[in-house]
Amino acid sequence: MFSFFKNLTNKENEQKLTEEELKEQIREEAQVNLAEFDEQEVIKEEAAPQETASIPVSDDAPLEVKTELSLHPDWEAQLDNEKKYTLRFLQEELPKMTLGMVSVTGFSMMPQKTGGMTVAMFFRNGSPYPVSFRKVRLAVYLDDQPFARIRIDLSDMGTIPPFSSRPWEIHFPPQSFLHDNFQFSKWKVLMQGAKSPYIWPQELELDPQMEARMTARQKDRLEMLAYTLPALKAETVEMTAFDIGKTRDGRLVIGLLFRNGRTTDYLPGELNIAVYEKKDGDLIASGVIDARSVRVRAKTSRPWLVVFPADLVKKPDADLSDWYMKITRNTKK
């Protein structure tokens, strides 16, 4: 705990950072409406109604609120006055919040020798109600591209009072990393609720009905894939799988991304798809999939969910942690 204070010290002379240097540690903030979280993620506690005059609204923006530092009791007991002053100073430099929103703002990121990285951030409550975070999804972005994602239980952080910011440390283990590229010029932390809309790359086409059918895991993996795949060669088409899973009734569901590098639309038609275990080469499922309703516009990517009925699954107990797929166009009439 409190490893982030090492980042708030000048590495050359071991002196505390100046106030201007401290300001530079604060990352970009992304606010989220409380309505985007369900009851498993955030608990908004009932509180006695507050008088309008008591709400700390700024003079120039009546829908914006200021926040104050709120330390967890354990932090209050363990931190000395100098460290509390540092956190209070950082909190004072945070931007005003829109009334009714919550947010997360990072201010320290440290790789750990034992693996993973520890990120210090402020969890902010811009509502007039006490708020308790439970199981929420957090993501670290490097240069505006997703780098690590976790779903973490924050019950130990306690209740954040109205219009308050609470500092907290989160460890992102190595298995939360989406890739191994550590070179970046800027970083930030994002928080997402179960009802939060995804922001997809501009070249990714995803119709609302398809997005509604996708699970949170499928969306996370598609986002990661869309940002990390290498550029397409001109006038080529690629099909890349980004997720696989089984349903309770025995169906096999595969997330597939069509990428069209042509200057004309691509129509997949009917596809022969076979899925194999990589370890021993056993066939998991195969069949002819009708993709005639899919149209991939020129220079865009489009996801599609392939569903094998249970009777086409040849190996129901297959290991889906390591697999591969073969796809060919069906030319039989």
Q: Which two tokens stand for residue 115?
A: 């693996």
**Residue where a domain stops, chosen among 160, 192, 224:** 192
More confident residue, 57 or 301: 301
41/112 same-domain check: yes
Task: Classify residue 213 as exposed, middle or buried by CB count within 10 Å of its CB (0-12, 13-18, 19+).
Answer: exposed
More confident residue, 329 or 159: 159
- Cα gap 26→75, rounded to integer Å: 20
Count how many domains the chain has.
2
Q: Flag whether 203 is in a domain.
A: no
Does 30 score more than 90 pLDDT?
Answer: no
Residue 176 within a domain = yes
Contacts of residue 52, defined as CB under 8 A and 6 or more positions apart, other chains included, come to none
**Residues 253 and 308 grouped into a single domain:** yes
Q: Please, which contacts does 290-297 make with residues 24 or more away whose CB atoms are closer than 8 Å?
A: 292/267, 292/268, 294/258, 294/267, 294/268, 295/265, 295/266, 295/267, 296/205, 296/237, 296/258, 296/259, 296/260, 296/265, 296/266, 296/267, 296/268, 297/205, 297/260, 297/265
Looking at residue 52, its pLDDT comes to: 39
- Whether residues 220 and 323 share a domain: the answer is yes
Residues 105 and 27 grouped into a single domain: yes
Q: Is the CB of residue 104 less than 8 Å from the CB of residue 124? A: yes
Shared domain check, 183 and 54: yes
Q: What is the pLDDT of residue 105?
A: 97
According to DSSP, the β-strands at 117-125 and 187-192 are: unpaired
Provide the Cα torsion 85, 90, 95, 97; round to 10°. -60
Q: For residue range 153-187, list pLDDT tens digits in order.
A: 999 999 999 999 999 999 999 989 887 777 888 99
Whether residue 186 lies inside any domain: the answer is: yes
Residues 183, 146: one domain?
Answer: yes
Per the domain annotation, does 199 fall within a domain? no
Supply the CATH number for residue 223's domain. 2.60.40
pLDDT of 286: 95
| pTM metric for this prediction | 0.74
* Mean pLDDT taken over the chain: 89
pLDDT for 51 equals: 40
Same domain, 122 and 220: no
Query: Do 165 and 296 lie in a common domain?
Result: no
Domain holding 31, by residue range, is 3-192
Statement to judge: residues 60 and 167 lie in one domain: yes
* 14 and 133 co-located in one domain: yes
Whether 16 maps to a domain, the answer reads yes
Q: Could you report the per-residue pLDDT of 192-215, keeping only the tens digit for each?
A: 898 888 878 888 998 888 898 998
Residues 161 and 305 grouped into a single domain = no
Residue 202 lies in a domain: no
Tens digits of residue pLDDT in 40-60: 999 988 765 454 345 554 455
- Taking only the tens place, the pLDDT of each residue in 79-134 is 999 999 999 999 999 999 999 999 999 999 998 888 899 999 999 999 999 999 99
